[in-house]
């Protein structure tokens, strides 16, 4: 039966989001750039490859351990550029504010956006503000759009192929669980903080040291790591194998997920990038990433395989193999 109305899961980043895009947006807006479904659109201006991306943030609550909607809005868009190999240049910001919001709250958010912009090395160069009546929106929603410039030669020209390895720059699930804790929904005390961070600060040193070796990157936000793996191999003639014991997850995040019935592989992150890299340099790249503040807990977590084309397989702790599907439903709404 075809659904008649929008569900929360249509914004969750998993299967329903994909259906929404493929069945409603793509047929209408059909053009080759949009159809690539990358983290950014890429086009040439005066011979330079430009990346352009947009993201709206509706996280609830506005403030949570390790971050708030302001720095999330900056890092989210900076990261969507950076994973395309584009150096983030300028951001726009569009606010929807609910009437009655205090200036104190607004100023906290603005200050946080400013600090995040400095850390990421970008400027917010244009903006827009709309106000809706009480009850017409929930506090603040922030859209950021961003422009970046792609330098030739940094990313690999070769497609992903068997033998490539998969690197993660740290622990999974911290962001989602930190937001849950701010909602008072954790069954235990925790020190878990969001991993929100400007990934360009770790991505470009890597690309500069290993030019032409990184085949693909994507930040593991809504839908989590497992959904990214599916996006990578869907419809391709290669498969993916990742090894559970190698995937970094904090012990307390693991414990909370166990208690609440979540799988950390599907929980949203805001400072984690999945890197597909030439197998020949994977160990050296790992060492280099581990020497950086945003990559201390980096790990090689898997590889591209000729087997299981189109599928992502998790080698479990007990040695079995489990298919990692795209996220279905939306386990944690309004996480970014």
Interface of this chain with a copy of itself, residues 73 to 102, rule: CB under 8 A? 89-90, 92-102
Q: Of 261, 39, 66, nearest to 155 (Cα)?
A: 39
Residue 150 makes contact with a copy of itself by CB under 8 A? no
Q: Of 242, 239, 215, nearest to 226 (Cα)?
A: 242
Pick the binder of a copy of itself from 21, 193, 260, 328 (CB under 8 A). Answer: 21
Shortest gap between Cβ of 110 and a copy of itself (angstroms)?
5
Give the dihedral sign, CA 52/59/14/175.
positive
Stretch that binds a copy of itself, among 13-21, 192-200, 244-252, 264-272 (CB under 8 A): 13-21
Residue 323 makes contact with a copy of itself by CB under 8 A? no
Nearer to a copy of itself, 103 or 317 (CB): 103
Question: How many residues belong to the site for a copy of itself (CB under 8 A)?
Answer: 82
Residue 269 makes contact with a copy of itself by CB under 8 A? no
150 touches 278 (CB < 8 A): no
Nearer to a copy of itself, 94 or 211 (CB): 94
Helix (H, G, I), strand (E, B) or coil at 90: strand
Stretch that binds a copy of itself, among 120-128, 198-206, 271-279, 283-291 (CB under 8 A): 120-128
Stretch that binds a copy of itself, among 33-41, 199-207, 238-246, 290-298 (CB under 8 A): 33-41
Residue 184 makes contact with a copy of itself by CB under 8 A? no
CA 137 – CA 18 distance, rounded (Å): 25
Residue 185 makes contact with a copy of itself by CB under 8 A? no
Pick the binder of a copy of itself from 14, 79, 117, 155 (CB under 8 A). Answer: 117
Residue 123 makes contact with a copy of itself by CB under 8 A? yes
Pick the binder of a copy of itself from 14, 15, 57, 164 (CB under 8 A). Answer: 57
Distance of CA 164 to the CA centre of its chain: 21
Q: What is the CA radius of gyration of the chain?
A: 19
Pick the binder of a copy of itself from 68, 72, 83, 145 (CB under 8 A). Answer: 145
Q: Of 137, 135, 165, nearest to 240 (Cα)?
A: 165
Residue 113 makes contact with a copy of itself by CB under 8 A? yes
Nearer to a copy of itself, 45 or 259 (CB): 45
Nearer to a copy of itself, 130 or 322 (CB): 130
Residue 288 makes contact with a copy of itself by CB under 8 A? no
Residue 328 makes contact with a copy of itself by CB under 8 A? no
The residues that bridge with 277 in the sheet, in sequence order, are: 165, 214
Residue 297 makes contact with a copy of itself by CB under 8 A? no
Residue 281 makes contact with a copy of itself by CB under 8 A? no
Site string for a copy of itself, 220-259 (x = CB under 8 A): ----------------------------------------
Residue 174 makes contact with a copy of itself by CB under 8 A? no
164 touches 300 (CB < 8 A): no
283 Cβ contact partners less than 8 Å away, ≥ 6 residues apart: 300
Helix (H, G, I), strand (E, B) or coil at 224: helix
Over the range 10-49, which residues count as b (16 or more CB within 10 Å of their CB) and which as e?
bbbbbbbbbebeeeeeeeeeeeeeeeeebbbbbeeeeeeb
Pick the binder of a copy of itself from 22, 127, 208, 283 (CB under 8 A). Answer: 127
Q: What are the angstrom distances between the C-alpha of 149 and each of 36, 82, 89?
A: 18, 9, 7
75 Cβ contact partners less than 8 Å away, ≥ 6 residues apart: 116, 120, 196, 197, 198, 199, 270, 271
């Amino acid at each position: 039966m075809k659904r008649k109305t929008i569900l929360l899961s249509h914004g969750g980043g998993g299967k329903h989001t994909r259906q929404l895009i493929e069945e409603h947006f793509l047929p209408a807006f059909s053009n080759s750039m949009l159809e690539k479904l990358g983290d950014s659109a890429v086009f040439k201006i005066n011979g330079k490859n430009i990346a352009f991306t947009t993201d709206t943030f509706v996280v609830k609550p506005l403030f949570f351990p390790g971050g708030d909607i302001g720095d999330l809005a900056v890092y989210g868009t900076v990261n969507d550029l950076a994973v395309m190999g584009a150096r983030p240049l300028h951001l726009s910001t569009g606010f929807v504010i609910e009437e009655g919001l205090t200036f104190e709250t607004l100023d906290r958010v603005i200050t946080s956006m400013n600090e995040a912009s400095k850390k990421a090395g970008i400027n917010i160069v244009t903006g827009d503000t709309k106000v809706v009546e009480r009850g017409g929106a929930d506090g603040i929603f922030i859209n950021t759009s961003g422009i970046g410039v792609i330098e030739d030669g940094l990313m690999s020209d070769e497609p992903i192929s068997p033998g490539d390895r998969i690197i993660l720059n740290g622990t999974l699930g911290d962001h989602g669980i930190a937001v849950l804790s701010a909602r008072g929904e954790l069954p235990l005390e925790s020190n878990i903080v969001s991993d929100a961070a400007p990934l360009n600060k770790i991505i470009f040193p890597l690309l500069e040291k290993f030019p032409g070796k990184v085949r693909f990157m994507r930040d593991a936000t809504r839908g989590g790591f497992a959904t990214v793996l599916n996006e990578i191999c869907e419809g391709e003639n290669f498969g993916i194998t990742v090894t559970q014991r190698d995937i970094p997850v904090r012990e307390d995040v693991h414990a909370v997920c166990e208690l609440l019935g979540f799988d950390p592989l599907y929980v949203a992150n805001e400072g984690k990038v999945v890197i597909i890299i030439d197998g020949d340099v994977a160990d050296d790249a790992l060492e280099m990433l581990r020497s950086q503040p945003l990559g201390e807990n980096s790990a090689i977590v898997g590889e591209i395989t000729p087997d299981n084309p189109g599928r992502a397989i998790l080698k479990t702790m007990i040695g079995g193999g489990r298919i990692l599907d795209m996220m279905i439903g939306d386990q944690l709404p309004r996480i970014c």
